[in-house]
Amino acid sequence: MRIKPLISLMLGFIAATAVAATTPLVPKPASVTEISGEFRFSSPTTYSVPAYAGDSVAHVFNLLKADLEKGAGTTFTPATGKAEINLTLNPDLGPEAYLLSINPQGITAAASRPAGFFYALQTLRQLLPFTTQTAPATLPCLEIADAPRFGWRGFMLDEGRHIFGKDEVKKVLDMMAAYKMNRFHWHLTEDQGWRIEIKKYPKLTEVGAQRGSKSLGWRKMEPDTVAYGGFYTQDDIREIVAYAADRFIEVVPEIDIPGHTQAAVAAYPELLACDPENPHEVWLMQGVSPDVMNVANPAAVQMAKDIIDELVPLFPFPYLHLGGDECPTDKWEANAQCVAQLDSIGSTNFRDLQLNFYKQLNDHMATKPESDRRKLIFWNEVLHGNTDMLPSDITIMAWVGADKAALDAAGRGMTTILSPQIPYYINRKQSPLATEPVSQGAGTETLEAVYNYVPLKNVPANLHDKYLGVQANFWSEYVITPEFLEYLMMPRLAAVAEAAWTPQNLRDYSDFRTRIRAQEPMLRARDWNFAPHEFMNE
Ligand code: ACM
Q: Tell me the three state secondary structure of residue 121.
A: helix
Indicate whether residue 399 lines ligand 1 (CB < 6 A): yes
With CA atoms as reference, report the closest residue to 476 among 162, 155, 230, 156: 162
Q: 333-344, pLDDT tens digit by residue?
A: 999 999 999 999
pLDDT at 535: 87
Q: Which of 286, 322, 326 to mutate to test the pocket of ligand 1 (most atoms within 8 A of CB)?
A: 326
Rounded to the nearest angstrom, the distance between the alpha carbon of 325 and the centre of ligand 1 is 6
Nearest residue by C-alpha to atom 1 in ligand 1:
325
- pLDDT at residue 425 is higher than 70: yes
pLDDT band at 257 (very low <50, low <70, confident <90, very high): very high
Mark out the alpha helices in 52-197 (DSSP H runs). Answer: 56-72, 114-127, 166-178
Q: 94-125, pLDDT tens digit by residue?
A: 999 999 999 999 999 999 999 999 999 999 99
Q: pTM of the entire structure? A: 0.95
Query: Lowest-confidence range among 81-90, 200-209, 519-528?
Result: 519-528
- pLDDT at residue 5 is higher than 70: no
Rounded to the nearest angstrom, the distance between the alpha carbon of 437 and the centre of ligand 1 is 22
Burial 319-332 (b: 16+ CB within 10 A, else e): bbbbbbbbbebebb
Nearest residue by C-alpha to atom 3 in ligand 1:
325
Indicate whether residue 326 lines ligand 1 (CB < 6 A): yes
CA dihedral 92, 97, 103, 105 (to 10 degrees): 70
With CA atoms as reference, report the closest residue to 429 among 472, 488, 371: 488
Q: Tell me the three state secondary structure of residue 190.
A: strand
- pLDDT at residue 209 is higher than 70: yes
pLDDT at 15: 38
- pLDDT at residue 134 is higher than 80: no
Q: 310-334, pLDDT tens digit by residue?
A: 999 999 999 999 999 999 999 999 9
Rounded to the nearest angstrom, the distance between the alpha carbon of 328 and the centre of ligand 1 is 13
Report the nearest atom of ligand 1 relative to the CA of 425.
Answer: 2
pLDDT at 10: 39
List the beta bridge partners of residue 78: 47
